[in-house]
Amino acid sequence: MPLGVIAPEVTALRRAERLLKGAKDVPSLPAATLRVLAMLRDPDTSAARIAQVVTTDPGLTARLLCLANSAYYGYARRIATVTEAAVLLGSDALRSVVLTASARATLSQPLRGYGCSQEGLWRHSVWTATAARLLEARVRPALAEQAFVAGLLHDVGKIVIAANHGEQFVSICRKVEREGKSFAEAEAEVLGCSHAEIGGVLAQQWRLPESLAEAVTYHHAPAAAEVDVALAAAVQVADALVLSLGVGAVPEVRAREISESALPLARVPAAVLLSVREEVPQSAAELERLVEE
């Protein structure tokens, strides 16, 4: 690329940053969750210190222990304290548990223009997170929890657009309905960035790891990722897989095409994709049940 030329994806990220700065209604996470996410970036933070922060939020504490003791994480003995959970789970799994326990209120907003009614975005996010974790668990187990968090947050930018850009959102929907564009394409044409870039900037602001924020940013264009193309592609494959199961608004044939184009980048064999597709409904439904208890 010639010197002085700014890549389109960089321009989109800058526009996403400006949109977030000017937005009046931005998705947020509980204070305790944000503090824990920041602490997990520091490898010297002790499990006891993390537990001190988590336990300032009784609701977060209860949901975290419920998830940590579930078959979803598969520990043979009962985890009695948050400190114990922090030690046994490790930083990546603890991050996904804390976010799963905290993010429902943020992601349970109706986004009817996007085809998501009340709880629709939350359900699609949980299913995509589950699919992303299952996919990576088979090909790169060490990144399964990062894939889960990226899948959970991949569409969070839609909340910003729907809440703050009503007039432009009409134009976005018109392009989708009349011109057959995807929402990401229509958003980029109208706003200069898509929900993916907005979500990626939010993930950075929430102090999530760079590779994870990048996976959110490029889940519609994984080849543009620089830190971990395969992780971004895994989120796209998971998103498409869930849409093909009917948990979302995109027709199955379109979802299947997206999935097939991303499979080589995600390094996911077709047989693994078929196996995960069979496993997702039960695993995702179990996670939904646990968070709702």
* Residue 259: partners with Cβ closer than 8 Å, 6 or more residues away: 236, 237, 240, 241, 244, 273
| One domain for residues 23 and 34 | no
In a domain, 245, yes or no: yes
Per-residue confidence (pLDDT) for residue 6, from 0 to 100:
42
| One domain for residues 16 and 49 | no
pTM above 0.75, yes or no: yes
| One domain for residues 73 and 212 | no
Per-residue confidence (pLDDT) for residue 89, from 0 to 100:
87
| One domain for residues 156 and 285 | yes
Cβ contacts of 49-58, under 8 Å, gap ≥ 24? 50/82, 50/83, 50/86, 50/94, 51/81, 51/82, 51/83, 51/85, 51/86, 54/82, 54/86, 54/98, 55/82, 56/32, 57/30, 57/31, 57/32, 57/33
| One domain for residues 55 and 173 | no
| One domain for residues 179 and 152 | yes
Q: Is 72 exposed, middle or buried (0-12, 13-18, 19+ CB in 10 A)?
A: middle
Domain of 184, CATH number, reads: 1.10.3210.10
Q: Which domain holds residue 226?
A: 8-27+108-292
Q: How far apart are CA 136 and CA 75, in angstroms?
A: 20
Residue where one domain finishes, among candidates 42, 76, 102: 102
In a domain, 174, yes or no: yes
The residue to which tokens 């657009």 are assigned:
161
In a domain, 2, yes or no: no
In a domain, 222, yes or no: yes
| One domain for residues 98 and 181 | no
| One domain for residues 50 and 61 | yes
| One domain for residues 230 and 241 | yes
**Structural domain count of the chain:** 2
Residue where one domain finishes, among candidates 82, 102, 122: 102
Q: How far apart are CA 133 and CA 146, in angstroms?
A: 8
In a domain, 1, yes or no: no
| One domain for residues 47 and 92 | yes
Residue where one domain finishes, among candidates 81, 102, 123: 102
In a domain, 3, yes or no: no
Among 239, 254, 3, 273, residue whose Cα is nearest residue 125: 239
Digits of tens for pLDDT over the chain (293 positions)? 344 434 556 688 899 999 899 888 888 899 999 999 999 999 899 999 999 999 999 999 998 999 888 877 777 678 899 999 998 888 999 999 999 989 988 898 777 677 676 688 999 999 999 999 999 999 999 999 999 999 999 999 999 998 888 788 889 988 988 898 888 999 999 999 999 999 999 999 999 999 999 999 999 999 999 999 999 999 999 999 998 898 875 554 556 667 778 889 999 998 999 999 999 999 999 999 888 76
In a domain, 76, yes or no: yes
| One domain for residues 179 and 45 | no
In a domain, 35, yes or no: yes
| One domain for residues 114 and 175 | yes
